[in-house]
Copies of this chain bind each other. A is one copy, B any other.
Amino acid sequence: MDERQALAAFAALGQEHRLRVVRALVAAGPDGVAAGALADAVGIAGNTLSFHLKELSHAGLVASRREGRSVIYTAAYAGLSDLIRFLMRDCCQGRPEVCAPAVEALALAACCPAGDRP
């Protein structure tokens, strides 16, 4: 991932409705959510959502597939992971003790439903 892609991704996430879309898709898992249902969940008009989904797609944060009349959107987990790696790359000058706790906390917290963690 280069700086240009990372900028597009962070800028995409720095917008209320787009962040909600991505979080909804992250929580929904690989099954994804139809565009119409996303519009309801986020509370915006369909055309506005389309604009935001295009932005997210261009940033590599979501993917889409057509199913009948609906278009199903899913989170692009690889894109999210690349983004995080880009941000933390070469951190702490070879002194892992500085940021290892943060990474550890992430690994524990990321993949369990809320309330199901130690």
| B26 engages A15 (CB within 8 Å) | no
| B103 engages A28 (CB within 8 Å) | no
Residues in B whose Cβ lies below 8 Å from that of A10: 10-11, 13-14, 19
A23 partner, pick from B31, B89, B93, beta carbons under 8 A: B89
**Total chain A interface residues with beta-carbon distance under 8 A:** 55
Residues in B whose Cβ lies below 8 Å from that of A38: none
| A7 engages B19 (CB within 8 Å) | yes
Residues in B whose Cβ lies below 8 Å from that of A104: 107
| A85 engages B112 (CB within 8 Å) | no
A43 at the interface (CB under 8 A from B): no
A91 partner, pick from B91, B100, B110, beta carbons under 8 A: B110
Most buried by B among A12, A26, A30, A107: A26
Residue of B nearest to A12 (CB): B14
**Alpha-carbon distance between A9 and B94 when the two chains are bound, in angstroms:** 25
A7-B19, A27-B90, A90-B113 given; 12 more Cβ-contact pairs under 8 Å: A6-B19, A10-B19, A11-B11, A12-B14, A23-B89, A29-B91, A29-B95, A29-B98, A84-B110, A89-B109, A92-B111, A93-B113
